[in-house]
Structure 1
């Protein structure tokens, strides 16, 4: 078996501005079961990519200025709750990457993309519905600034940072 075959898969996430990161981390710290909360809040683009030069080069090829995303509401995940996210630029980046990385995508990453930031997971559906109702009643949209793309090695639970690709300066 080659060394390449034994490398852990990579997860691709969007890096957001620090104020937004702190905002979502606070929700996650409050509502995620503590024994399972070993990650910061994140917005996943792909759940399982090969750890190889092609993946890294493809991610680094994205020539996109920083852009904004908006939270559009709360989303029920069955066993958790997330902030729903909308951004034309995010969808365009993901579509471009999906085309270039198509051969290595797992079924989960070939499905329709519905961006979100999970703040609660691994709870009963009843607990999730209760939190959803609570947060929907006070929901206020916020704007997030996308700063770059992060690749993480998946280590069976925890993640280890692998690479970062900064987006260009925001227009204007």
Structure 2
């Protein structure tokens, strides 16, 4: 059996994670994966430079990002995130990991946090309208990066790489 691929996500401040996880439990209860902002969807399990790269970039400081709106999808809903620093970090990792990237991971990052997916279009629209009525942009803090193994169900944690403020 081939080892499971890596998924790389951005870790948010615990208060932000609690907010997004609560929404996810309420509107996407069948899903067993917690709220997340995916940076890379599929990296090989044996990518030796993966851990070295993650450890090297975590010397940076945590940074603030803007949650700018709600993004409806035909069968889901996500919060959109704006951060020039996040886009620069993603591009740096794309360059570092270029030999291993699948086409989806070679594309520019469109940061978002999905709170609902695989529901009816009616339900997605109804929840979008409900949440949009009270939405005001807000800030969240990026605290680090996590690596996971995808095993066709709940993700298995591999490593956490908190930003250490050493720059």
Q: TM-score range by the shorter chain?
A: over 0.9
Q: Could you say which residue in structure 2 is the equivalent of 1:14? A: 10
> In the TM superposition, what are the counterparts of 1:2-81 in structure 2 within 5 Å?
6-32=2-28, 34-35=29-30, 37-52=31-46, 53-62=48-57, 63-81=59-77
CA distance in 1, matches of 2:73, 2:42: 20
Structure 1 runs (4+) deviating above 2 angstroms are: 168-171
CA contact (8 A) 1:66 1:170 kept: no
Length-normalised TM-score, structure 2: 0.93
**1:104-160 deviations in Å (ceiling 9; x for gaps):** 111111222110000011101221122112211110222111111000000112101
SS of 1:163's equivalent?
strand
SS of 1:71's equivalent?
strand
CA distance in 2, matches of 1:170, 1:90: 18
CA distance in 2, matches of 1:75, 1:12: 22
Select the residue among 157, 162, 165 that pairs with 1:166. 162
CA distance in 1, matches of 2:164, 2:71: 30
1:112–1:170 distance in 2 versus 1, CA, 3 Å: same
Structure 2: 5+ residue stretches without partners: none
Structure 1: 5+ residue stretches without partners: none
CA distance in 1, matches of 2:83, 2:118: 27
Instruction: State whether structure 2 residue 119 is matched by structure 1 residue 129.
Output: no
User: Which 10-residue stretch deviates more, 134-143 or 151-160?
Assistant: 134-143
CA distance in 1, matches of 2:124, 2:50: 35
The number of equivalent residue pairs is 165
SS of 2:18's equivalent?
helix
Select the residue among 146, 153, 159 that pairs with 1:150. 146
